[in-house]
Amino acid sequence: MRYFLYLSYDGACYHGWQVQPNGISVQEVLNKALTTLLRHPVEVTGAGRTDAGVNAGMMVAHFETDAPLPPNLPYRLNKFLPADIAVQKIVPVKADAHARFSATSRTYHYYIITEKSPFEPYAYRYPQPLDFELMNEAARVLFEYTDFTSFSKLHTDVKTNNCRIMEARWTQVSSVKWQFTITADRFLRNMVRAIVGTLLDVGRSVLTIDGFRNIIEQKDRCSAGTSVPAGALFLDNVSYPEDVFLT
């Protein structure tokens, strides 16, 4: 039987989602917890591969087991897992449902604060003045393209750098806090952080809208801006068609 597992995590102490040879990952911790509780080897497959330090308000992963699930498995997992990983629910899905390939969209949020605050550990403090209206104008340029090689980490194993961006905008959360929301059918490694870093160049007037468009068209990571810190980035939603779930 295949199941989707919904979870959230603080990525600060992990080398990303995916199992790594040189550090602890969220996937590894979850594998060990499920293997212990289900009493047979379990490997989860995630909806994406968040980088080291990136957080998830909602990650989805699938796993399989032939045995009936123990009662209150999410509760038992949460008692077993560290405090920075939390399971919300486990739902049965069709045998061919895939946490990564069945997803129709993913939404990330990135947070910027313009003043120092002890209450915003998950936001990037950026004290320079920013023109968010201009940054939104640049963000709308993303809808004109599908090849985002310029915002992809180099030497990845993906077959294509094409993505369809459905939403990209900055909104003000408070007097000192802004949120960037971006939704796409898929994302490349480091893509959101590179886009945000390049939009910040637009916001501080060192890059024009035409310059932003030119960066995308160059298909060269070296032409784009610096990637912003990982700790202010959250994967907050993964969407699936209703027909992958068992009623």
The CB density around residue 130, as the number of other CB atoms within 10 Å, is 19
Question: 241 Cβ partners below 8 Å, 6+ apart?
Answer: 102, 104
- Residue identified by tokens 């959230």 is 8
Q: How far apart are CA 81 and CA 58, in angstroms?
A: 16
152-167 burial: b if 16+ Cβ within 10 Å, else e? beeeeeeeebebebee
Q: Which residues of 168-189 are buried (b: 16+ CB within 10 A; e: fewer)?
A: bebeeeeeebbbbbbbbebbbb
Specify whether 147 is catalytic: no
The set of residues, in sequence order, having a beta carbon less than 8 Å from that of 242 and lying 6+ positions away, is none
Q: Which of 51, 66, 201, 210 is catalytic?
A: 51
**CA atoms of 69 and 82, how far apart (whole Å):** 21
**DSSP label at residue 177:** E
Q: Apex CA 47: angle with CA 45 and CA 50, to 5°?
A: 100
Quick one: which of 48, 5, 51, 13 has its CA closest to 30?
Answer: 5
Where in the sequence numbering do the catalytic residues fall? 51
